[in-house]
Amino acid sequence: MAESTKRYVLKKAPATEESGSPVISAAGISSEQENAFRIDYAQELNPQQLTAVRNIFGPQLVIAGAGSGKTRTLVYRVSYLIEAGVDPAQILLMTFTRKSAQEMMKRASIVLDERCRRIKGGTFHSFANQTLRRFAKHLGFDPSFTILDRGDAEDLLNVVRSELGRNTNDKRFPKKRTLLNVLSKSTNTGRSITDILEDEYPQFIEESAVIEQLAVEFQIYKKERSVMDYDDLLTNLKLLLLENTDIRKKISRENQFIMIDEFQDTNSLQADIAEMLASEHKNLMVVGDDAQSIYSFRGANFHNIMKFPERFPGTKITTLEQNYRSTQPILHFTNAIIKSAEEKYDKTLFSDIEASHGPVYIRATNFEEQAGFISQRVLELHEEGVRLDQIAVLFRAGWHSNELEIELGGANIPFVKYGGLKFVEASHVKDVVSFLRIIQNEKDAIAWYRQLLLLEGIGPKTAQNIVLHVRDSGKGLQALGEKPFDKKKYSDSLQLLRIALEQTRSAQTLEDAVAIATKYYRPILKTNYEDHKKRTDDLDSLIRIATRYESLQTFLDDISLDPPDSTQIGAEASGSEDDKLTLSTIHSAKGLEWHTVFVISLIDGYLPSSRSLNSRAEIEEERRLLYVACTRAQRNLYLIAPELSYSRGFSAVGAGMAFPEPSRFLQEIHDFDELAEEWHLDVEF
């Protein structure tokens, strides 16, 4: 507002290093032993971190504030265990994404040696997947089961729904998306379907009996076809451990030391699994921060972390409060964000890192100006010697970066985007993947459907008949050429499909298999999609990704459980440039950090999202989201709130969105003016 003609200026950020940690004498457990260790843990870690590392037996809870060296602690604990003589294969490290597991293993092997790469690590889902493949038979599943992603699960649910006679014209019945939300929430929270309906979807309460039945049918359907959705991976693992004491004991003994990262984002189902995995030895360490709980929509409940000591009597609790990441002014600001939280466990982060400037707050006139400022500022920082991969732009939802992506494209600034729509979720990629899924699991009806519906002349009904025929005839693919399905309309294309499937199955390498699949698919792509030119590049990317895998199964598993990022693929193709700006949803930025962070579109309705205003709990989670975003910054933090947004037709918030207020979380900060400096932008013509 002030009529400032001064363009923004910024003093160079001091290139501060992490400060050294205090030393504490090695008391207790095995100091002679420790003396023989290659790493001087007392030298490398602060006292709290050291305590957490040395505590190797029994349950342990580590409350770790943002940037407090949580990863460092886990990494050193891994190496400590190995130095103490633990077989790396007996260490299980559960993390939120496979990427962070790999990152930790990498760091651990730098700290110690290659043995650290032999520990087991991954997400709950990937661990469940591996375990279930070993013991699938005990649950009546085929070990070559395929995994349904969200869309597949919804489609299958729709099939079941229509078989129950609730398909058309029924405005009173929830859509597949809602249905899956309800079922998923029920499994992930352990609450009954009726309970959830009453609470969140009262308009459908009358249908609760039907929905309960639908849930049962859905389970049967999936089992018959040897497919599991994300939730099944967890529930089936739990079931396996619960019903087979000998298997549970075996698995628990195989994993003598279990560590779980980001525990505030696990749900009770995952906590149950963790408990059973540790049942034989209780060597379970969980690490988390209640202030960073941002996954309650997936059934996570940050109270879980506080309940951990009740669940595991004798839990040792360690709190890490010193922050090694951000400057003190940034921490003053982030502490202020979380201070307004209704429910919090007091924890004030502090840092040794001084700085002359705090977070910067900017009101841009609109989204284009916001984008323009970022690209200009990024270029300047780059000039000053900050690598692009040390800069990130964070936002609430994937589409919030639309204008920015255009701007960056125009300014030739390379970037990767995380979160939002994924490469493998694009329909043409799913088409090819479903083709491959048929090879792995001939019973996978959803994959069959998808393939068959691509063929001219085949609709839902014929597709269903063909799938049933293939299953019941017992002749496998040969059945595709048989009697009722030799109609002229589609028999030729059906034969082409059969031949392609057979060729793919007998391919020597996975790469060949994917190449055959895409070759078969290319003409279909051309007729089905207007913009097939753009999409065809993705098929090449898929082949390239396949080269990294040995077996079809691991390839397909990773596609569902650890999918490659969409724009990363595009960027991979476009050049060798490694130094890229990061654009990311706040959720996907979890656990990461950058020299400079821009948090954009900080207006009410965006953050908090207009869809999260239904309850105090939801709003509080949005606040934590802002907290997570801001605590990613090491040296520079820019907060941007556009004054104008377009309300193009969609009426989620109505016309009021045209002149949005800055995020309420910013407005709630009392000393905002002292904690952040405001810059005014001047556009030069």
Partner DNA sequence: GGTGACCATCTTTTT
Partner DNA sequence: GATGGTCACC
Minimum Å gap between C-beta 457 and DNA is 4
**Max CA distance (Å), the chain:** 84
Which of 106, 253, 526, 611 is in the footprint of DNA by CB under 7 A?
611
Which of 22, 460, 523, 654 is in the footprint of DNA by CB under 7 A?
460
Q: Are 492 and 477 in contact (CB under 8 A)?
A: no
Query: For residues 137-176, which are near DNA according to CB under 7 A?
Result: 149-151, 158, 167-170, 175-176
Mark 652-681 with x for binding to DNA (rule: CB under 7 A) and - for no binding. Answer: x-----------------------------
Closest CA to 440 of 226, 148, 144: 144
Element (H, E) at 335: helix 328-339
Using rule CB under 7 A, residue 260 touches DNA = no
CA distance 283 to 419: 34
Sequence-ordered alpha helix ranges (H) in 174-302: 176-189, 193-200, 208-224, 230-243, 245-254, 268-277
HSE-CB of 247 using CA atoms within 13 angstroms? 16
DSSP state of 300: B
Handedness of CA 212, 228, 266, 600 (dihedral sign): negative
Q: Are 155 and 176 in contact (CB under 8 A)?
A: yes
Closest CA to 93 of 109, 623, 240: 109
Using rule CB under 7 A, residue 417 touches DNA = no
Minimum Å gap between C-beta 260 and DNA is 14
Which of 37, 221, 297, 672 is in the footprint of DNA by CB under 7 A?
297
Minimum Å gap between C-beta 649 and DNA is 5
Minimum Å gap between C-beta 400 and DNA is 8
The interface region with DNA, picked from 293-301, 352-360, 441-449, 634-642 by CB under 7 A, is 293-301
Question: Which tokens belong to 84?
Answer: 């103490």
Minimum Å gap between C-beta 676 and DNA is 24
Q: 260 vs 463, which CB is nearer to DNA? A: 463
Minimum Å gap between C-beta 420 and DNA is 5
Which of 60, 73, 79, 97 is in the footprint of DNA by CB under 7 A?
97
Using rule CB under 7 A, residue 58 touches DNA = no
Using rule CB under 7 A, residue 396 touches DNA = yes
Minimum Å gap between C-beta 235 and DNA is 12
Minimum Å gap between C-beta 286 and DNA is 17
CA distance 287 to 545: 33
Using rule CB under 7 A, residue 570 touches DNA = no
Q: 112 vs 463, which CB is nearer to DNA? A: 463
Query: How many of the chain's residues bind DNA (CB under 7 A)?
Result: 53
Using rule CB under 7 A, residue 476 touches DNA = no
316 residue type, one letter: K
Query: For residues 637-656, which are near DNA according to CB under 7 A?
Result: 648-650, 652
Cα–Cα distances (Å) from 43 to 27, 40, 113, 474, in that order, read 14, 5, 19, 66
Cα–Cα distances (Å) from 117 to 121, 229, 548, in that order, read 9, 29, 18
Q: Are 365 and 643 in contact (CB under 8 A)?
A: yes
Instruction: List interacting residues with DNA (CB under 7 A).
Output: 96-97, 123-126, 149-151, 158, 167-170, 175-177, 230-231, 294-295, 297-298, 396-399, 418-420, 426-427, 456-463, 561, 563, 585, 587-588, 609, 611-612, 618, 648-650, 652
